[in-house]
Each structure stands twice: as C-alpha cells, then as structure tokens.
Structure 1
C-alpha cells in the first residue's frame, strides 16, 4: 500500500477529474489524501475521500474567481495575462513552503498534482518524492497547429517560469500552462480525438467517477420533455455569468420546437436573465453526468471536462469559447468535424439556428460524434489510477 497525496486547484474544473482516479486508488488499497489552498472538504467527503487536514481552516474558493466580475474580466486580454502571470509565477515562491509542509506531515510515497501548481512540483522535487502530472485540460497534448491567447501569454512568461524552476535545480518540459512530469503525465483524452500519440503523455480516456463525484444535486427527470429534442446549455461554474448569450439562445430556440435546459448558477431569477418562455427549464446547477445522457445537443463554453463528458455520452456540441484553454478544445472539436464552433456573442441569430439544427439533424456530424464516443467508452479514471499505482 502507498500513501498518495493529491494537490489540486480548488475549482470544480480542476477537482472533478481528480475524483475518479483518487477513488480508484482507494479501491486498490492505497491511502489517499487531498491538499488544496482552500476548503474542498465537503465535496471530498461526499465522494468518500479525505482532505489531509481533518479540520480545514482555509476559506472556501474565492468568489472573485467566478460570477459577473470574472466573466467580464476574462474577456480583457491584458487583465487576463496579468492574472495568469500572478497565479502561475508571482505567487508560486511563497506557496512552496505550504506544499512542503503538507508533504512532511503525510510522508507520501507519491504525489499527484494539477500540472499548473508549480510550487507543488518544486516541493516534491526538494523532498525527493516522485510526482505525477494529472491534467484537467488538453494542455499536455497540444501541437504547433493550436493557437490561442493563452499560449501567447504562456510564451510571454516562459523566461520567468524557467527562472522559477532553475532556482530550485529543476529543468522541466512544458506544454501550454502544464508541467510535463519526468515520472508520469496523464491526459484525459484519446488518440482518436487528438489525432496522434503524444510522447511522454499517457492519454487514458475520460475521467468519470465510479460512484458519487461529490458535487451532485437532485434532478427531477420528470421535468425533461419526452416528446421534444432537448438542448442543454452551460458555461461552467466560473464564467457562467453570460446573460446576453443565454437570452440569445432562448430567443433562437423558442420557434425550433425543442426544450432548452439551462444551467445558470446565480443568474436564476434575476432581471438579467429575464422572464423565461415555456420551452426553457432553467436551474442554478445541474448534475451534468446525469443530465447529458438525456440530451440531443450541448451548447458549452468548451471547458475540458464538459467536452470530455459530452464525448463520453455521444452528445453533439456547439462550443463558444470565452477564454484560456477553451479554444484548445474548440480546435480539436473542429478538426475532428464532430461539432460546431461559434462565437455566440457576435453570431447572427440565424446562424445560431443553423448550427443548432446541424447538431440535432445532420447525419454526418452524428456519425463523427458516434465514432469519437466509441474511443471515450473506456474507464480513464481507473486506467489513470493503475498507472499511478504502478510507479
């Protein structure tokens, strides 16, 4: 049995893909703990996992990283570049001690970290503990054909990043924001979606939990139409504040004869979202893994987990990326011709109608989605756990 310590960023998009591998590692007999800079104990306990500290004193994840303020700021390229530099580089030196302390207290045989947590890898290196880069994105599998503002930002901070690691005697390879571990790097993707094997990266398929993920909420399935096509729209847990986009899609879908299911978080019941017509079912938060199997189409910002889950369930997607790695998921979806990519903020409503109709009725697109679904019909969480345990 090994003691395995997970380091994660305390946001759903980073925590959720770690839950499945962690649960499988426990099932395989290993002792697993989580450490994060903010309190994530509620979700961990609901998933049958444990934080390193039984009495977590850190505050929950900051609200400044979600909602109206955040949704507006991430569209500002100058602000976003400064924010990313601060998170990845400027704050890292002061955080090393905290990760080193967690390692010293748990004495793990192995560390599994989000590959954007640079101080975690530095602390692991200095403690001589092997570490796994478990990515929540497609960063590890990017190639030169992928372009984005995020990659331009990463290029601008590369010298500072190299200096950070050189100061601690480390020379690493990077892909996008992610560290590539010399021990093991895992991406929750498939060769069929990416289009090639990636040296030094294990693509294991989707990370879905074997049981509860810990963030589930009730879903009354009797509210879902049994006679109409169903379209689901969500912009995730951080940049959900997109009232103009929701209203636009509401208008477009009203004459289409579909049911539109919205996950709108704190927008529910606000004047910004407005009065909802009868074809709309709006909820503050949706148990996505439970809802997606019932959906005929999915409109999304293109978060890596949402794309991974939709591919697993074979749901055609329209991606409207807003920031960061969402453009990377859009790139691969467009390359495989298994979905639509469209900027909803600038698109004409007629064009949106055409794109949604393609998702619902185009047989060639459905065939491409079905082919990719076959490659995503694997237990990537269990495979990741097996690779981690084998180190």
Structure 2
C-alpha cells in the first residue's frame, strides 16, 4: 500500500471529477489524505478517504471569485498568494507524512511546489483541458479582449508575486500557462483525447481518461410525466452564475412561441419569485436531476462548465454554449470546433446574449442532425477512455514504478 496526499482547490468543478478516482484508490488499498476547505468535508469524506482541512485560505477563495469575474491574472496572483500562505504548513505536513507521491489539481500551485521542494513524485489532476507553454487554448478574439479588459491591472501584481516566490523558493519563473497547467510526472486529464484541443501536442505523461459520469443524489425531484412534447430543451447556467434574471427573461422572450418544451433550472440559491413571466411551455425549477433528465433532452443551453458539457455529450445531447467566464469560453469554443453544438455570447461582457441569438442558435442545432451525431461520437470517446478505473490503474502503475511496490493493486 502506498500513501498519497491530494491537494485540491475549493471548487465543485475541480473536486467532483476526482471523487470516483480517490474512492477507487482507497478501495484498492491506497492511503489517501485529501486536503480542501472545510465546506467540502462531507463530500470528500464520503469517498472513503481521509479529509483534512486547510487553514483559512481567503486568497484561494478570491481566486475562484476572480475566475468568475474573468480576471485571469487576478487568478494567477491569488494562486501564488495562496501558496505563500499555505506552503510552510503543508511542507511540514509532507515532511511528517512522507507520502510516496503527491497529487494536486492543475491550479494547485502550492501542491506542485510542496512536491518539488520535497523531491516527491507528482501526479497532476486536470479537470479542464491540459495546458502547457506553447499550446494556446481555444479562445476567440472577443474573449481575449475580455481577458485584457479584466486583467490588465493585475498583471503586474501577478508578476511581482511570482518573482518574490522564486526568490524565496527557487525554481524557474512560470508564465500563466504554467500556473494554470501545473504538470506532474503523471497527468490525469478528465476528458478524452478527441475533446482535448491539440491532443497530439501532449506526450505520454498525459493520460486522457475521460469524465467519470455517475448518478448523483440530492439535485432535486422532477416529475418526468411533464415532458409531454418534443423537442425538449434544457437550460442551466450551473451554480456560480445562476442568478441571471436578464438571461432568463431573454429565454422567455426567445421561446415563448416555440413548439418545444423548455426546462429551466435557475439554481438552488435563486428565489423562483425573482424569475417571473415564464411562458406556458416552460417548466422552471431551482434544481433538477440533470443526469436523469439529459437522456430526454434534445438541446442543452449551458454555461459551458466542463462537467455539464461532459454530461451532455456523454448522453449525445448537442449544446448551445453561453459562457459566463474565461474557462467556460474555452470549453464553449471547443464545443463549436468539434461541431457538437454552437457557442454564442463571446463579446464583452461574456454571457450577454439577445433573445434573437438564443432562438437562432437553438433552431440551428435542432434543424441539423449532424450536431447530435457529433455529440454522440464525443460521448462514445468518453466511454472508451476508461474513466475513474483507468485513472486508478495509471496512478497505481505510477506508484509501483516510483516505490517499487508490487502491482497487485492493479484493477483486473
């Protein structure tokens, strides 16, 4: 049995893809210590691993908020600042625990640095796309303008913070691609090579295992007998950006006279009384069981979060992506580039769309069966990639290599 410490950031989209993987590692006998903020204790502990809380890390939480606001260099600054706050303590933890290898999210600069400074083998967990210097992510020009507008004044803060860190701890300076794509000797990427942009530019250290799609509970009851007509269009902006009454009103205007049925999930934190005026062909709920609903859906209007996009494509559902922040713009662009849907709302500010744009996009996807066919092909690539079991196989093979341990853990 080997021991690992997993350092992750406090965000559902970065934690959720890892849960089945660490649960499988624990099932096969690995000792997994998983660090995150206290708010995620129950979710992570339920995977059967040892949860440990970080001390208060306001900078990491601010990094999540900066990402939501589109301030990309602000994110980088906050990640380096979080590393400054956490590194002394987690270096002490690493020295005490002596893990055989360290796992960290690709944004978790402090995990990467703790492993580097201790000389311990590293495994990166990559819930979005793999990134590395020289491989540009798929961002349209309008989204790049959005980055410049939001991030210009925090660029100097980021560069200064990184310079101070390197003066104290050594190592090569990192540009933004490095901070956002902290890589290890092994890199577990939770998408398929077919969906990854420029997959041929990544070497054998990168394992594209696909998403782990599993039934989730607690996401709201739904009466499926209400789905009385076709097509069914599902609309959701996820959790972080759910409070968008202007967007919902645009949807009402766009589809009030549409023959289809529209299921709108506005988020558990949104009061339904703040979303008035739904036409008769709309079902409006705070939450719905998304994975149960998607097999009944013909088009999904989404914010472009990686988890939601993976789940839709897994069920061969084509997409209309309306990204709300920069990382979602990358996913939305990839959806469009692969032909599994269309992407709108790139002009600053991200996510601002008209009723006419929404109607045109949905009608375009519904009218052309090629969108669904391409979505189905990507979904098949996810299922063939191996999921959490292959991820565990790769991690345990790596652990055996670096520790000389027997390979009896390997999944049959």
Give the TM interval when normalised to the shorter protein: 0.7 to 0.9
Shift of 1:101: 4.0
Alignment-derived partner of residue 340 in structure 2: 338
CA–CA distance in 1 between the matches of 2:126 and 2:87?
Answer: 20
Residues 1-391 of structure 1: pairs in structure 2 closer than 5 A: 1-46=1-46, 48-53=47-52, 74-75=68-69, 80-81=71-72, 83-104=74-95, 106-140=97-131, 143-144=135-136, 146-147=138-139, 148-149=143-144, 153=151, 157=158, 160-161=161-162, 164-165=165-166, 167-171=168-172, 175=177, 177-193=179-195, 194-200=197-203, 202-208=206-212, 216-266=218-268, 268-343=270-345, 346-378=352-384, 379-391=386-398
Range 268-277 or range 248-257, more displaced? 268-277
CA–CA distance in 1 between the matches of 2:218 and 2:396?
Answer: 28
- Shift of the 163–135 alpha-carbon distance from structure 1 to 2, 3 Å rule, reads farther
Given that 2:22 and 2:49 are in contact with CA atoms closer than 8 Å, whether structure 1 keeps it comes out as: no
Range 168-177 or range 186-195, more displaced? 168-177
Given that 1:113 and 1:132 are in contact with CA atoms closer than 8 Å, whether structure 2 keeps it comes out as: yes
CA–CA distance in 2 between the matches of 1:240 and 1:65?
Answer: 19
CA–CA distance in 1 between the matches of 2:198 and 2:369?
Answer: 22
User: What's the secondary structure of 1:5's corresponding residue?
Assistant: strand
CA–CA distance in 2 between the matches of 1:66 and 1:120?
Answer: 16
Given that 2:294 and 2:317 are in contact with CA atoms closer than 8 Å, whether structure 1 keeps it comes out as: yes
Shift of 1:49: 2.6
The superposition leaves residues 259-280 of structure 1 with CA deviations (integer Å, 9 ceiling, x where unpaired) of: 2222212454344322433332
* C-alpha RMSD of the superposition: 3.4
Shift of 1:352: 1.6
User: What's the secondary structure of 1:262's corresponding residue?
Assistant: strand
Given that 1:112 and 1:131 are in contact with CA atoms closer than 8 Å, whether structure 2 keeps it comes out as: yes
User: What's the secondary structure of 2:162's corresponding residue?
Assistant: helix
User: What's the secondary structure of 1:190's corresponding residue?
Assistant: coil
Given that 2:57 and 2:85 are in contact with CA atoms closer than 8 Å, whether structure 1 keeps it comes out as: no
CA–CA distance in 2 between the matches of 1:61 and 1:291?
Answer: 36
Given that 1:189 and 1:203 are in contact with CA atoms closer than 8 Å, whether structure 2 keeps it comes out as: no
Shift of 1:120: 1.5
- Shift of the 155–366 alpha-carbon distance from structure 1 to 2, 3 Å rule, reads farther
Equivalenced residues, count? 380
CA–CA distance in 2 between the matches of 1:282 and 1:176?
Answer: 41
Given that 1:250 and 1:260 are in contact with CA atoms closer than 8 Å, whether structure 2 keeps it comes out as: no
CA–CA distance in 1 between the matches of 2:103 and 2:137?
Answer: 29
CA–CA distance in 2 between the matches of 1:177 and 1:236?
Answer: 25
The gaps in structure 2 that reach 5 residues or longer are 399-412
Tell which has more relative contact order, 1 or 2 (C-alpha 8 A, sep 6+).
1
- Shift of the 94–345 alpha-carbon distance from structure 1 to 2, 3 Å rule, reads closer
CA–CA distance in 2 between the matches of 1:66 and 1:283?
Answer: 30
Alignment-derived partner of residue 401 in structure 2: none
TM-score, normalised by the number of residues in structure 1: 0.84
CA–CA distance in 1 between the matches of 2:361 and 2:310?
Answer: 20
- Shift of the 250–81 alpha-carbon distance from structure 1 to 2, 3 Å rule, reads same
- Shift of the 287–101 alpha-carbon distance from structure 1 to 2, 3 Å rule, reads farther
CA–CA distance in 2 between the matches of 1:128 and 1:88?
Answer: 21
